[in-house]
Structure 1
């Protein structure tokens, strides 16, 4: 898959057995392939433009769809080097537009580029893609889709847990104690920005020479402005109850520019610290608003789980909660999302419904993904 940051393709080669419960997983190989290694050098800039709602001809959209598919097929082939050959590909693709249902009874829309049929053609492997569409067709948000996998792999019999993904956009899975037995009581939603605003700010501050705050070192030199954070927490998305999902449409360059105008009194380190604290504060705020109780454990994954400063801000806002990484529980924190789409593809071939209506708001459970034979 490739996430909101549009920085490359995360590929994971996994060995799976069993069904939904128990599900057995072994990670054989995992790697992030920058788009520049897999495709023409202007692909990332074209995708960023498309995801920023800049108009483009349909012919160019079709070409982008093909180019992304070719990049994903190359990533799938490279991850098999010196490994057992794969039997199936699950591809989330590259999201360039996401519009949740505007009102109950209406349908949303989500567009992921990277045609599954072309990936199957180039790789010679059956490919499952377009995972969000089936959930959207029955009234769901089409996201988040990872919570049932979190329940299978990370639920605890006695402890309430939150699994917090810190990619470009953040999303949470709430796993009440023992939920892996019946999938009851599981909640989940997009929490808002995780790394996206920080990454955009770093790119601007360094004129593109740096794309993220390595280990949160720059932000750690600053001090957050609590008044600004509280002001930004009034954003309508944070007030909206779940089910909910979001993307660059809500938290992208335009919003960052607006926030930057309000933060002119801050130096670069304080500006980054304040954006980082917004991520932490918005996550904690959403737990306090929308969970039946705060979790005993908070398990982090995604790129932001490698940011000690972000983790320290989360601990400050959730002092009674024990923080850890999914690495600590045997699930690779950097590649958990890619692993999840391998599992969703596996479940699709088994015919299992794999959305959770309690998370997405769909009217019923449905199998997710379109199957493309080679």
Structure 2
């Protein structure tokens, strides 16, 4: 089945669209890469999404309009991909996360205990199904949350299927807006799969992107090739101070988002940097070092042993300074992009949701309870048929 996977991550830097041919049943899948592209948000829509993620108040009417506008941008991305690479039979869309409250965090303005997590993705699947005339799977995180899980991260199951090694222990580290890891014990694809560990490691590009956008007065959105960080000197005292954040003390399973590592956290970082007399490039270098240090600290605190190899995906894999600092913080482990082992670092997350959509059609569970904290396996995603579908 030819499936399009769609996602825009917490960086809100564009919609990743991947077309793959998926076959097989359950974990015994085959996957053939066809083509991918990154579709930019219209500038005004991107700013509206970022403002909402930063906590700006919005009316329900405007939220509904924003939900549909995001869906239409996702449909534009899928149509552009099909124009380049041919038709698809199924669309699997993660949507755009604008709010994520993990399990156990007390809700605002409510005094009673809170058990379930809460997550909100914009870009409803029904609009995609209508626009594209294709069945669409969306709202992937909800079933895991209803099973008591964090609803995140969900990509480690793809890492298990496609990146496990017969003799190597591997960490697959995504560096999108937020970082997440999958720890893969050796597996030769025979017998039951091993227990995979995984969780959100903390910020990846979120703070760096906010800093670049702020300090360039809106002219730039990210640190291209780590150029700003390369010119600066990190302040290790600040890095060590930020590593004392309570999130890094919390054992997995756990997940996070811009609610913790977003605009407000950056403001505190910026103020601390000013007190230290840091220049602009020094602040970017310090935030970059903080990202690498947080990943390494999480590994040393919560993995049973360090991996034999670290495979990196997401936008951070294209930042040579961030990759070099991660390697320096994990000198025992070779650090390289997933491209080195045949899986696109740029589109791995989109590919993951294409596989999850394929599994939804099969009725196969797509979560890993040991990763998300769910009480049971769950079939993920909500199915939307196009109008007049049989």
C-alpha contact 1:148 1:183 (8 A) present in aligned 2: no
1:191 aligns with 2:183: no
Per the alignment, in what secondary structure is the counterpart of residue 144 of structure 1?
coil
- Tell me how far apart the structure 2 counterparts of residues 166 and 359 of structure 1 sit (CA, whole Å): 17
Match of 2:77 in 1: 75
1:231 aligned partner: 241
Shift of residue 105 of structure 1? 7.6
Of 368, 378, 387, the match for 1:366: 378
Secondary structure of 2:134's match?
coil
8 A contact 1:179–1:185 mirrored in 2 = no
| Structure 1 portions without partners, runs of 5+ | none
Shift of 1:179: 7.3
The answer to whether structure 1 residue 211 and structure 2 residue 198 are counterparts is no
C-alpha distance in structure 1 between counterparts of 2:251 and 2:193, whole Å: 21
Aligned to 2:3: none
Q: Which consecutive unaligned segments of at least 5 residues does structure 2 have?
A: 1-6, 106-112
| 1:293 aligns to 2:305 (yes or no) | yes
Match of 1:355 among 364, 367, 377: 367
- SS of the residue corresponding to residue 112 of structure 1 reads strand
What does 1:1-374 align with in structure 2 at a 5 Å threshold? 1-36=7-42, 41-102=43-104, 106-178=115-187, 180-181=189-190, 182-264=192-274, 265-374=277-386
Q: Distance in 2 between matches of 1:71 and 1:190?
A: 27
Q: d(CA) in 1 for partners of 2:202 and 2:285?
A: 17
CA distance in 2, matches of 1:365, 1:318: 33
How many residues are treated as equivalent by the alignment?
370
> 1:144-200, CA deviations, whole angstroms, 9 ceiling, x for partnerless residues?
000110000000010100000010100000001117542322000000100111111
CA distance in 2 between counterparts of 1:298 and 1:166 reads: 12
1:121-164 CA-to-partner distances (Å, cap 9, x unmatched) read: 11000000000000000100000000110000000010100000
SS of residue paired to 1:333: coil
Q: Is the 8 A contact 1:158 1:178 kept in 2?
A: yes
| In 2: Cα distance, 1:54 partner to 1:84 partner | 40
> Displacement of 1:323 after TM fit?
1.2
Distance 2:300 2:213 in 1: 32
- Contact 1:105/1:139, CA 8 A, preserved across alignment: no
**2:172 alignment partner, SS class:** strand
Distance verdict in 2 for CA 1:322–1:214, change over 3 Å: same
CA contact (8 A) 1:151 1:180 kept: no
Deviates more, 1:322-331 or 1:97-106: 97-106
- CA RMSD in angstroms comes to 1.3
Bigger mean CA deviation after superposition, 56-65 or 76-85: 76-85
Q: Distance in 2 between matches of 1:248 and 1:207?
A: 20
**SS of match in other structure, 1:263:** helix
- Partners of 1:166 and 1:219 lie apart in 2 by 16
Residue in 1 that maps onto 2:4? none
1:282-335 Cα offsets, whole Å, 9 max, x none, are 000000000000001000110100111111111111101011111011111001
**Quick one: distance in 1 between partners of 2:356 and 2:203?**
25
Distance of 2:309 and 2:144 partners within structure 1? 29
Q: Which runs of 4+ in 1 moved over 6 A?
A: none
- Give TM-score, length-normalised by structure 1: 0.97
